[in-house]
Amino acid sequence: MKDLKFHLLDPLPYSQMKTKISSEMAEPDGTADEYARAKRLAKRFDVCIRSIRRWGDKGHYAKYKLSPRVVVYKEAEVKAYVDQSRVG
């Protein structure tokens, strides 16, 4: 039998981690929010990557730290903040 202890400590590839996180963060009615990293959100909303991170650090929307190097944000929260902050 394979030692389960080592299996649990093995890091998941990002694609599997993304699927696991999406299923764990699903709403009770079965719908899941979209989560994305800062680079993808910056391209989508035409802002700087650093702005996405800074706004998350200041608490304008939640950030979810999956590992020491991977942080994701809810796209809907970022979109709402960017839309309310735009001038003109």
Which of these ranges, 14-28, 35-49, 51-65, has the smallest mean pLDDT?
14-28
pTM score, whole prediction: 0.65
All structural domains of the chain: 4-85 (1.10.10.10)
Q: Indicate whether 84 pLDDT > 60.
A: yes
Q: Indicate whether 9 pLDDT > 80.
A: no
Residue 24 is encoded by which pair of tokens? Answer: 């764990």
Q: What is the pLDDT of residues 36-58, one digit of tens each?
A: 999 999 999 999 999 999 999 99
